[in-house]
């Protein structure tokens, strides 16, 4: 099971979260990564935690002011990137180009989508993984695995019907170890969460709860 903690633009201490994630990953044997703001990728990666970018732009080197260059985040220490998060939507063509840009830079890719139909379209672009995350549940207290388990199983089936090499992650509302187990039982191979760790009073305790039964 893969746990990817998205720090978004929350006012948390990224180094404290990264250090906690690194330590819990080492102690539990569970793969855990942290996705900070682009400007913090280098300092987060220096903790030794697996580090992901929150986004890469659909362009290469050139006159692209304000873009997030895949090569730049890789050079800063990122090993993977989210693409098309619900809070940073892109067109299908932009997603395709961003996936190719990330692969060119040696980054692992996870494309986010709202529903099984979008998951199938995303899987056809051959990212390493896709994450199903209904936007109405993002940041809430109810996980998608509990609120709408069918959307998770349907997403797994949708991705598998296109390319069974694409892993399916479960996002939106994940915050407890029970949520992680529920997602796993529905066929997800990873989870994508944010506030459950980034807003926690004790990020290490939150992470320990997530991996307790894995």
Q: What is the pLDDT of residues 7-31, one digit of tens each?
A: 999 999 999 999 999 999 999 999 9
Residues 39-63 have a mean pLDDT of: 97
Class of domain 2-59+66-211: alpha beta
> What residue has token string 């050139």?
62
Model confidence at 144, pLDDT cuts 50, 70, 90, reads low
Model confidence at 96, pLDDT cuts 50, 70, 90, reads very high
Model confidence at 143, pLDDT cuts 50, 70, 90, reads low
- The residues assigned a catalytic role are 85, 133
Per-residue confidence (pLDDT) for residue 140, from 0 to 100: 53
- Distance, CA of 19 to CA of 174 (rounded, Å): 21
Distance of CA 182 to the CA centre of its chain: 18
- Distance, CA of 99 to CA of 50 (rounded, Å): 19
Model confidence at 198, pLDDT cuts 50, 70, 90, reads very high
Model confidence at 98, pLDDT cuts 50, 70, 90, reads very high
- Residue 128 is encoded by which pair of tokens? 């390493």
CA distances, 39 to each of 31, 108, 122, 191 (Å)? 23, 19, 27, 24
Q: How far apart are the first and last CA of the chain?
A: 8
Picking from 122, 167, 172, 131, the residue whose alpha carbon sits closest to that of residue 148 is 172
- Which residues, 6+ apart, have CB-to-CB distance to 117 below 8 Å? 158
Question: How much is the mean pLDDT over the chain?
Answer: 93
Q: Does residue 147 have a pLDDT over 90?
A: no
Tell me if 74 sits within 8 A of 37, measured CB to CB: no
Which of the pair, 120 or 147, is modelled with greater confidence?
120
Q: Does residue 151 have a pLDDT over 80?
A: yes
Per-residue confidence (pLDDT) for residue 19, from 0 to 100: 98
Which of the pair, 124 or 182, is modelled with greater confidence?
124
Q: Does residue 189 have a pLDDT over 80?
A: yes
Model confidence at 139, pLDDT cuts 50, 70, 90, reads low
E strand segments, the chain:
2-6, 31-35, 50-53, 80-83, 108-113, 129-132, 167-171, 190-193
- Which residues, 6+ apart, have CB-to-CB distance to 175 below 8 Å? 141, 143, 193, 195, 196, 206
Model confidence at 157, pLDDT cuts 50, 70, 90, reads very high
Residues 73-95 have a mean pLDDT of: 97
Q: Does residue 134 have a pLDDT over 80?
A: no
DSSP class of residue 75 equals H
Per-residue confidence (pLDDT) for residue 41, from 0 to 100: 98
> What residue has token string 């994940």?
174
């Amino acid at each position: 099971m893969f746990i990817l903690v998205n720090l978004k633009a929350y006012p948390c201490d990224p180094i404290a979260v990264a250090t906690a994630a690194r330590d819990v990953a080492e102690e539990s044997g569970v793969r855990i990564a942290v996705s900070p703001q682009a400007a913090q990728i280098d300092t987060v990666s220096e903790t030794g935690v697996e580090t992901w970018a929150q986004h890469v732009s659909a362009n290469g080197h050139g006159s692209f002011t304000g873009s997030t260059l895949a090569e730049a985040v890789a050079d800063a220490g990122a090993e993977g990137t989210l693409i098309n998060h619900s809070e940073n939507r892109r067109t299908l063509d932009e997603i395709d180009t961003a996936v190719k840009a990330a692969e060119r830079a040696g980054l692992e890719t996870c494309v986010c989508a709202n529903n099984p139909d979008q998951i199938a379209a995303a899987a056809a672009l051959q990212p390493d993984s896709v994450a199903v995350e209904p936007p109405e549940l993002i940041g809430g207290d109810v996980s998608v695995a509990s609120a709408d388990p069918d959307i998770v199983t349907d997403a797994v089936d949708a991705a598998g019907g296109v390319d069974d090499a694409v892993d399916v992650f479960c996002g939106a509302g994940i915050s407890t170890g029970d949520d992680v187990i529920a997602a796993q039982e529905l066929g997800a191979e990873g989870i994508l969460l944010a506030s459950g760790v980034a807003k926690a009073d004790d990020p290490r305790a939150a992470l320990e709860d997530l991996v307790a039964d894995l």
